[in-house]
Amino acid sequence: MIQRGNNCEPCFFAEADYRCYLDELAEVAVRFSCAIHAYVLMTNHVHLLVDSAEEYGISRMMQALGRRYEYYINLK
């Protein structure tokens, strides 16, 4: 799965942003029964290798992750 910034703009602006994203990813992965096998966080996009025990687990995980990370960025 690849997640990109809007118009290829940056998703991460500081080292703390990467840590926040990974922390949120860990939480929502457990919540939606997803296993994260690998990830790469680039400045303007993310690569994830994920599987889920739930039918819509990955899409729900990504939606929750996006909402949480967007909230974090908007607060900054």
Tens-digit pLDDT profile for residues 2-55: 888 888 899 999 999 999 999 999 999 999 999 999 999 999 999 999 999 999
Q: What's the total number of domains in the chain? A: 1
Q: Give the residue with greater pLDDT, 76 vs 60.
A: 60
Phi, then psi, of 9 in degrees rounded to 5: -80, 160
**In the β-sheet with 34-41, what is the strand arrangement from edge to edge?**
2-4, 45-52, 34-41
pLDDT at res. 32: 97
pLDDT at res. 3: 83
Q: Which of 60, 1, 67, 69 is nearest to 31 (CA)?
A: 60
CA 56 – CA 31 distance, rounded (Å): 12
Report which secondary-structure segment, H or E, holds 40: strand 34-41
Q: Which domain holds residue 21?
A: 2-75
CATH number of the domain that residue 6 is part of: 3.30.310
Q: Is the pLDDT of residue 1 over 80?
A: no
Do strands 34-41 and 45-52 pair parallel, antiparallel, or not at all (unpaired)? antiparallel
